[in-house]
Amino acid sequence: MNTALWQRLDLWARNTTPFGIAVLLVILNVVPTSIPDYAAITPTLALIAVYHWAIYRPNLLPLTAVFALGLLQDILSGAPLGVYVLVFLTAYGIVLSQRRFLAGKSFMIYWLGFAIIAFGAGVESWVLASIWNFALLDFRSLFFQFLISLGLFPIVAWMFMRWQQAFLPQD
Amino acid sequence: MDDQRSSSILRIAAPLKSLLQRFTYLGLIGLAFSMMLLGKIDAVLVDRVRAEVTNAVAPILGALSRPAQTVSEGIDNFRSLTNIRAENLALREENLRLLQWQSAARKLYADNSALRALLSAKPEGGARFVTARVIAGSGGAFANTLILNAGASDGIKKGQAVLTDQGFVGRIAQVSSRSSRVILLTDFNSRVPVLVESSRGRALLVGGNTRRPRLIHVAPGARVTPSDRIVTSGHGGAFPPGLPIGVVAAVSDGGVTVQLFADYGRLEYVKVADFGLKGLVAKEP
């Protein structure tokens, strides 16, 4: 009975996972790790999610979801409210416009694209937070954040790829 | 037939949809900017919202931070096993030194209380402590804050001092019912009146989102040299005097930087102290 309903529910559950995983990444971002000095250079993991889903399944991570992610990131990390919202929205918009170029390319291109986006995001957040505080903030820790997220990107992106192949319906 | 019709609908609908999407995009960007502005205009409201959302996520953070802690404790255990012999030796030596200090401290304590009685000095009030677990922390370019798993229902109030066994680390900035946020001394918005312990020179300790905060407004004529201890001064009445903070790391033309006692990357439990001081935050709700 009601197989259609179950199928719809199942599809709905699968389709919400990109957003769910991204929320989890935001929360994981602030969990204390006790690694010396890691707190200062914790990469913004959710940016990887925004980048990946903007290329492969933008319909599953719509604008409002990106907005919500940024807001949660701002609130939990203690950054000025709105900074990560703007950063995520900008990254999403740029990636979406370059989607045709990036989708289905080799991993190196995919990685390079993220490098450019992540660097832009770092600069943007630095400029925004500096204006908000009326002071020049320290850029070095942001740069290390950028390097760490570049290093973590293949691992997280690989998991997204596998997830997408295993659980999400084809586009 | 149907196909044709739907494709013609699509032809009209697609640009409309992209237009709508563009509007949503610009609208959300505008909303983000107004949120930044709101944070400047009404910081109290934004703090309230932040505290409530944090409160809602606190149980998840509490659960997630436990395995992370267990892993790091395991690594620590392993590491300490490898150099247990050397550590034992060092501890024995330290113990001997501390025993000497203990007798000195006992003598000083007796002297001190006798002299206090002679002068009938006003006693400092005792403190009440709440121990809380650190369930989230963020450091870096924008903020250096911690989230604790204790809040207003545990007696925590805004402005209270946060301590570890190594000394003073920050103050409570936001409180909700079951969680609270600590602004660390390294945070960009942290300003604490301090004393250079040896010369009693007054100064202000200012965080800059870097590992080492700076001393500014050092009292003219006060001598500051590397390895001087920095303690709270008690000025402003927010914190009691004499809480240890750190040592002077470097003195240069660019300013004085302070190496903090506590390891801010590995705070697991902290004490929130209620010294019964109202201080500068008394007027806020």
Enter the ipTM: 0.83
Strand B180-184 versus strand B161-164 pairing type: unpaired
Spell out the residues 6+ positions from residue B210 whose beta carbon is closer than 8 angstroms to its own: A138, A141, B186
Torsion region of B21: left, alpha or beta (phi above 0 gives left; psi -120 to 50 gives alpha): alpha
CA–chain centroid gap for B44, Å, is 19
Q: With a CB-CB cutoff of 8 Å, which residues 136-165 of chain A face chain B?
A: 137-139, 141-142, 145
Give which of A75, A68, A127, A67 is closest to A93, Cα–Cα: A67
Taking CA–CA distances from A39, the nearest residue in chain B reads: B139
The answer to whether the beta carbons of residues B206 and B257 sit under 8 Å apart is no
Tokens encoding A154: 């293949």
Name the token pair of B188.
Answer: 């960009």
- Please state the φ and ψ torsions of residue B132, each to the nearest 5 degrees: -130, 155
**Topology of the domain comprising B128-281:** Thrombin, subunit H (2.40.10)
User: Closest Cα partner for A18 from A44, A55, A43, A72?
Assistant: A55
Task: From chain B, pick out residues whose CB is under 8 angstroms from the CB of A82.
Answer: 32-36, 39
Q: Give the β-pairing of B255-260 and B214-216.
A: antiparallel
| Res A38: pLDDT | 67
pLDDT score for B278: 65
Distance from C-alpha of B133 to C-alpha of B37, rounded to nearest angstrom? 33
- Those of residues 54-113 in A touching chain B at CB distance below 8 A are 63-64, 67, 70-72, 75-83, 85-86, 89-90, 93
Shortest distance between the Cα of B199 and any Cα of chain A, in A, equals 31
CA distances in angstroms from B90 to A9, B44, B100, B109, listed in the order given: 63, 50, 16, 28
Predicted confidence (pLDDT) per residue in B257-285, tens digit: 999 988 877 788 899 988 877 665 544 44
B129 in reach of chain A (CB within 8 A) = no
B40 contacts chain A (CB < 8 A): yes
In B, minimum Cα distance to A140 occurs at B141
For residues A82 and A74, is the Cβ–Cβ distance under 8 A?
yes
Interchain proximity A82–B33, CB inside 8 Å = yes
Tens digit of pLDDT for each residue in A66-120? 999 999 999 888 888 899 999 999 999 999 888 888 887 888 898 999 999 999 9
φ, ψ (nearest 5 deg) of residue A81: -60, 125
- At residue B269, the 3 state secondary structure works out as strand
Distance from CA of A113 to the nearest CA of B (A): 22
Contact A35 B64 (CB under 8 A): no
Specify the pTM.
Answer: 0.78
Closest listed residue to residue B49, CA positions, set B63, B28, B35: B35
Which tokens go with B56? Answer: 């809602």
- Classify the C-alpha dihedral B142-B145-B149-B151 as positive or negative: negative
Domain annotation for chain A: domains and CATH numbers: 15-167 (1.10.1760)
Nearest by CB: B265 against A39, A70, A125 = A39
**Identity of the residue in A39, A40, A89 whose CB atom sits nearest the CB atom of B32:** A89
The residues spanned by each domain of chain B are 2-41, 85-123, 128-281
A78 closest CA partner among B136, B31, B138, B171 = B138
Q: Mutate which of B54, B142, B164, B209 to test chain A, going by most A C-beta atoms within 10 A?
A: B142
Task: Please give the C-alpha separations between residue B232 and each of A94, A102, A139, B193, B237, in angstroms, as whole numbers.
Answer: 48, 55, 29, 6, 11
pLDDT for the residue numbered A66: 93
Distance CA A95, CA B278 (A): 51
List the one residue out of A40, A61, A116 whose CA is nearest residue A124. A116
Interface check A133 vs B, CB under 8 A: yes
Other C-beta atoms closer than 10 Å to the C-beta of B157 total 13
Question: Which residues of chain B fall short of a pLDDT of 50?
Answer: 1, 282-285
Q: If DSSP codes are grouped into helix, strand and coil, which group holds residue B130? A: strand
CA distances from A35 to A32, A144, B52, B188 (A): 8, 15, 28, 22
